[in-house]
Amino acid sequence: MKERGLLHFRVLICLAIGSMTLLGIWWTSVKGTELEQVDLSKGVTYENGYINLNGNSVIMKESANSTDTNYLCNIYLDTNRNSVIDEGEEQPVSIDGDIDIHSTTPIYGIYKQRSVTPLSITVLDGVYSVIYGVYDGELDTGDSEENACRINVQEAQILSCISAARNSKITAASTAVDVAVTGGIINVVQGVVGGQIISGSSQTAVQIAITGNSSLPAGGVFEGVSEGANIKGDIAIKVSPDTTSEINYLYVIKNGVTVEGSVDASINHLSVKKVAFSAYTGCKVTGGMTFASGSDTYFSQLYLIEMSNVTGDVSASIYGKMQQEDSDDSNTQIRLLRNGIVGGNVDIDLKDGLFGQIYAVENANVKAILIYYLRLGPIHRLCGQ
**What pLDDT does 383 receive?**
57
What pLDDT is stored for residue 75 in this prediction? 98
Alpha carbons within 13 angstroms on the beta-carbon side of residue 272 total 29
Mean residue pLDDT of the chain comes to: 86
- What local confidence, expressed as pLDDT, does residue 120 receive? 98
Name residues of the chain where pLDDT drops below 70. Answer: 1-33, 320-332, 352-354, 369-385
The whole-number pLDDT of residue 372 equals: 66
| Cβ-proximal residues to 152 (8 Å cutoff; 6+ apart), any chain | 83, 120, 121, 122, 123, 180, 182
The answer to whether 304 and 291 are in contact (CB under 8 A) is yes
Quick: pLDDT tens for 42-74: 999 999 999 999 999 999 999 999 999 999 999
| Confidence at residue 16, expressed as pLDDT on a 0 to 100 scale | 33
The pLDDT, as a whole number, for residue 382 is 56
| Percent of residues in the chain assigned helix, strand, coil, to nearest 5 | 0, 55, 45
Question: Where are the chain's structural domains?
Answer: 26-383
Compute the CA torsion angle 245, 249, 255, 257 (nearest 10 deg): 10
In tens, the pLDDT along 12-33 reads 333 333 323 232 333 355 555 6
Contacts of 327 (CB under 8 A, 6+ apart): none
Output the pLDDT for position 356: 72
| DSSP strands (E only) in 78-219 | 101-102, 107-111, 113-115, 119-123, 127-135, 138-140, 149-153, 157-166, 169-172, 177-193, 196-199, 204-215
Distance CA 241, CA 243 (A): 5
180: buried, middle or exposed (CB in 10 Å: 19+, 13-18, 0-12)?
buried
Tell me the CB-side half-sphere exposure of residue 100, using CA atoms within 13 A.
Answer: 8
